[in-house]
Amino acid sequence: MPESGVTVSVEALAHFAEDIFLALGLPADEAALCADGLMQSELRCLPGQMQGVSRLPVYRQRIEGQLVSVNVPFEILRESPTLALVDAHNGLGHVTSAKAMQLAVAKAKVCGQGTVVMRHATHIGSAGNQARRALPANCIGLALSNAGPEMAPWGGTTPVLGTNPWAIAAPTNGPFPIVLDMAVTTAGKGMMQWLAREGCKMPLDWAITKDGRTTDDPAEAMDGTLLPIGGPKGYGLSLMTDVLTGVLGGAAFGVTPYSVPNSQDVGSMFIALDIEWFMPVTEFKARIDKFIADIKTSPLRPGFDAIYLPGEIEYLREQEKRQNGVQLDMPTTIALKQLAADLNVRFPLT
């Protein structure tokens, strides 16, 4: 086996992920949703973001350890024509989030807008995956979530806020939608672990040490706290994301998400806007395409060779992997091969 790991076709890796979830006892529909969520992240995210198939062993630990619930009810606690409050009952985040956005879209198709707030949830995966679920219904999708405390308030040193990701997805006439998918921290600790393993330094605006010093050492930063995007602006975005999801939704917030191993108690919000309520979809796409053309024709700054739209680099990354396969590094390859052996699932190799 080469030192760099292996290359696996997208189709084979997707089947493998689904087989793992089936072997862990998930019903077929939940296994498909979880596998699709991890694969979308595998194709679009950087390895250091750790949102793809490298998380399969973590899911195994949480499912077998009964730290996350399988095949639980998706309970609507209260709803109106445009709103719903949902209890996820500690269910798998990829599953409950898909159901929440489906409900938001259904309300949007009737009323023009649908909002679903979900409590007692678990990690929802990449927020962009959930926002994009609204696109086939000709809706703009928004997804927000809180997370465990990894970021200090601006000026502080103690982590009390999460990376608190949010995403917005809008359709276009082009080959890919516009998808803003971001955490409100400059980077995550997964990226730091990746750089530390590669022996690389990190930018000074990623994190501070536990005593509040700036550092370019990712290993040292792992014991510290993350820094927000845009300084105090990112801090404000994280705080208000927690207000909209954890505080308003009746879930954990601030320092309490992820504090109990068998109940992450994540709060999430999913919003769908029906484009057809505002104008014909063809008109919207023509307008957004004009907007894209204006952006793309802006003169380039020195040192730049192209202007990219939100989600465009991820789209190009996905196309490259679909053509050439997914490269798994050695640690991920070893972990997945062991997982496959433990669960008697065939591991795909090219």
Q: How many domains does the chain have?
A: 3
For the whole prediction, is pTM greater than 0.85? yes
CATH number at residue 214: 3.30.60.50
SS3 257: coil
139-145 and 166-170: which strand pairing? Answer: antiparallel
Q: State which of 227, 260, 295 marks the end of a domain.
A: 227
Q: What is the pLDDT of residue 1?
A: 37
Q: What is the pLDDT of residue 340?
A: 96
Residue 349 within a domain: no
Q: What is the pLDDT of residue 283?
A: 98
Q: What is the pLDDT of residue 2?
A: 40
Residue 348 within a domain: no
List beta partners, residue 331: none
Rounded Cα distance between 104 and 111, Å, is: 10
Residue 17 within a domain: yes
Residue 292 within a domain: no
Contacts for 271 with CB less than 8 Å, ≥ 6 apart: 104, 113, 114, 115, 116, 141, 142, 143
Q: What is the mean pLDDT of each run of 10 residues along the chain (350 residues)?
A: 73 96 95 95 80 93 94 95 98 96 98 98 94 98 96 92 96 97 89 83 90 88 90 96 97 94 94 98 98 96 96 96 93 93 87
